[in-house]
């Protein structure tokens, strides 16, 4: 027989390099009822503004005037952190241009919004969600960017956040300058009643040059009274100044393509826009199942003053000036006050169904004035027929109830 002595094993340890496990969100996610664009997940989103970000998003198109369409439908409702902007056209475009992608977390795109959204959004709803710090303690970030094309564009932003067990205080400031131009060519053909014989045509070339500055401020505080109760206040301010100098030339041609008249126009437009909003919110979570009640009180004030000047000169086919210049100047002030209150309740059931219900009331006071004056190239101005003063008061009270349940692949 062979006797084997006891073999002793001596433990030995060796430190390995640290292993870091990271998860990254996909650029685009499909969730129930909406498409979510995660801004930081795509490097191409860096250094852009909110309007450019929407242009890159699936299904969204933006025309030269800043009008936003979703899957070809105009009249899209734009929300910022779930709150309506109550703006459209050039005013909305100016606001979105002043929001930098570095301050945006997600863009939610809803082509078929549920009943909890205002009826005005039946063409679709786009919700822009801004970033909010989740790290405990004091933290912040600074971003500075410059883009150079034909003209330069510069932006800078500062984000600060403090969070502990009960309190979260956050603030953000961003500012920038921009400059650019558009080149628009239009060819119009006018036909006789038979719709086949050409009567005349108009060729138009327009090259508007624009530049501006903007400042955005956001300040807020959240306080957790308990694990189930949190209240907060948020202030947002936006200041935007834009100057535009459009130039255009129009050639009027007969049926044979010969120039009969020419028009040349020059414009000098300036728009100053200021937006302020305050939101007070409260959220109570009843239990761990997700049953919750939220209350929002909002006030927003938008003011804008636009000064426009347009000079038009006419020429004959030989380029000889005809008559006096036609001058048109306009002063277009606008003031909007918005008050709204909203209550939302969510009740998930064990069966997988979910009940959502809510109430909303809003009051909107709008005061828009359009003052146009015309002159034949002199300092004598006469009122133009397009002058108008529009005062509008709106009160909307609404309620909604949604009962939903997912059965396999069906909602």
CATH for 22-131 (3.30.70.980, 2.170.130.10, 3.30.1340.10, 1.10.10.10): 2.170.130.10
Lowest-confidence range among 86-95, 226-235, 319-328? Answer: 86-95
Which of 290, 163, 326, 140 lies closest to 232, judged by CA? 163
The pLDDT value recorded for residue 20 is: 66
pLDDT of residue 342: 93
- In this prediction, residues 41-52 reach a mean pLDDT of 83
Neighbours of 272 (CB within 10 A): 16
Higher pLDDT among residues 350 and 119, named by residue:
350
Separation in Å, CA 213 to CA 95, 148, 153, 271, 276: 11, 16, 10, 11, 17
Tokens of 115: 């009943």
| CA atoms of 296 and 285, how far apart (whole Å) | 15
Q: Which residues pair with 144 in a beta bridge?
A: 156
Contact 89, 97 (CB under 8 A): no
Q: Are 96 and 54 in contact (CB under 8 A)?
A: yes
The dihedrals phi and psi of 137, each to the nearest 5 degrees, come to 90, -165
CA distances from 73 to 20, 141, 180 (A): 45, 38, 27
Digit-coded pLDDT (tens) for 254-304: 988 899 999 999 999 999 999 999 999 999 999 888 889 999 999 999 999
pLDDT band at 409 (very low <50, low <70, confident <90, very high): low
Most confident of 34-48, 97-111, 146-160, 292-306: 292-306
When the pLDDT of each residue in the chain is averaged and rounded to a whole number, the result is: 86
Boundaries of CATH 2.170.130.10 in the chain? 22-131
Specify the 3-state DSSP secondary structure of 409.
coil
Task: Using the predicted structure, report yes or no on whether residue 89 has a pLDDT greater than 90.
Answer: no
Residue 77 burial (CB < 10 Å; 0-12/13-18/19+)?
Answer: buried
C-alpha of 61 from chain center = 13
Instruction: Report yes or no: 28 and 39 within 8 Å, Cβ to Cβ.
Output: no
pLDDT exceeding 90 applies to what percent of the chain? 37
Question: Once rounded to an integer, what is the mean pLDDT over residues 376-380?
Answer: 78
What pLDDT shows up at residue 175? 92
Cα separation of 383 and 120, whole Å? 35
Distance CA 227, CA 285 (A): 8
Least confident of 13-22, 37-46, 135-144, 312-321: 13-22
Which pLDDT value is given to residue 21? 63
Q: How far apart are CA 89 and CA 302, in angstroms?
A: 14
Nearest to 210 by CA among 155, 271, 265: 271
pLDDT over 70 at 408, yes or no: no
pLDDT of residue 115: 76
195 pLDDT band, cuts 50/70/90, is confident
Q: Is 82 left (phi over 0), alpha (psi -120 to 50) or beta?
A: left
pTM over 0.75: yes
* Tens-digit pLDDT profile for residues 227-251: 899 999 999 999 999 999 989 999 9
Among 355, 350, 342, residue whose Cα is nearest residue 396: 342
Predicted confidence band of residue 83 (pLDDT cuts 50, 70, 90): confident
Reported for 367-370, long-range contacts at CB under 8 A and 24+ positions apart, including other chains, are 367/334, 367/335, 367/336, 367/391, 367/392, 368/332, 368/333, 368/334, 368/335, 368/392, 369/331, 369/332, 369/333, 369/334, 370/330, 370/332
What is the pLDDT, as a whole number, of residue 86?
A: 76
Calculate mean pLDDT across residues 47-66: 84
């Amino acid at each position: 027989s062979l006797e084997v002595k006891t073999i002793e094993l001596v433990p030995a340890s060796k430190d390995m390099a640290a292993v870091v496990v990271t998860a990254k969100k996909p650029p685009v996610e499909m969730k129930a009822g909406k498409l979510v664009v995660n801004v930081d997940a795509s490097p191409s989103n860096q250094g852009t503004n909110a309007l450019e970000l929407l242009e890159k998003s699936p299904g969204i198109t933006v025309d030269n005037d800043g009008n936003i369409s979703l899957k070809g439908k105009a009249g899209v409702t734009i929300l910022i952190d779930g709150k309506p902007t109550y703006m459209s056209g050039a005013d909305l475009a100016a606001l979105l241009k002043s929001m930098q992608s570095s301050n945006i977390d997600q863009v939610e795109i809803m082509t078929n919004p549920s009943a909890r959204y205002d009826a005005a959004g039946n063409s679709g709803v786009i919700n822009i969600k801004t970033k909010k710090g989740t790290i405990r303690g004091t933290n912040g970030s600074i971003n500075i960017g410059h883009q150079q094309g034909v003209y330069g564009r510069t932006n800078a932003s500062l984000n600060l956040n403090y969070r502990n067990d009960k309190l979260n205080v956050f603030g953000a400031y961003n500012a920038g300058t921009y400059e650019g131009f558009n080149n628009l060519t239009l060819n119009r053909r006018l036909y006789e009643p038979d719709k086949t014989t050409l009567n005349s045509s108009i060729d138009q070339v327009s090259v508007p040059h624009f530049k501006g500055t903007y400042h955005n401020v956001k300040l807020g505080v959240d306080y957790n009274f308990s694990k189930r109760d949190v209240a907060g206040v948020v202030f947002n301010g936006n200041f935007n100044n834009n100057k535009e100098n459009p130039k255009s030339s129009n050639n009027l041609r007969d049926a044979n393509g010969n120039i009969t008249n020419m028009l040349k126009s020059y414009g000098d437009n300036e728009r100053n826009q200021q937006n302020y909003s305050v939101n007070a919110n409260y959220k109570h979570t009843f239990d761990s199942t997700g049953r919750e009640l939220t209350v929002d009180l909002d006030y927003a004030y938008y003011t804008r003053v636009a000064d426009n000047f347009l000079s038009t000169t006419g020429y004959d086919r030989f380029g000889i000036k005809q008559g006096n210049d036609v001058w048109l100047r306009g002063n277009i002030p606008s003031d909007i006050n918005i008050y709204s209150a909203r209550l939302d309740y969510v009740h998930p059931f064990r069966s997988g169904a979910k009940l959502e219900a809510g109430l909303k009331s809003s009051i909107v006071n709008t005061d828009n004035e359009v003052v146009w004056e015309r002159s034949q190239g002199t300092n004598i101005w006469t009122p133009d027929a397009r002058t108008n003063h529009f005062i509008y008061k709106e009160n909307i009270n609404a309620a909604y109830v949604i009962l939903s349940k997912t059965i396999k692949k069906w909602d």
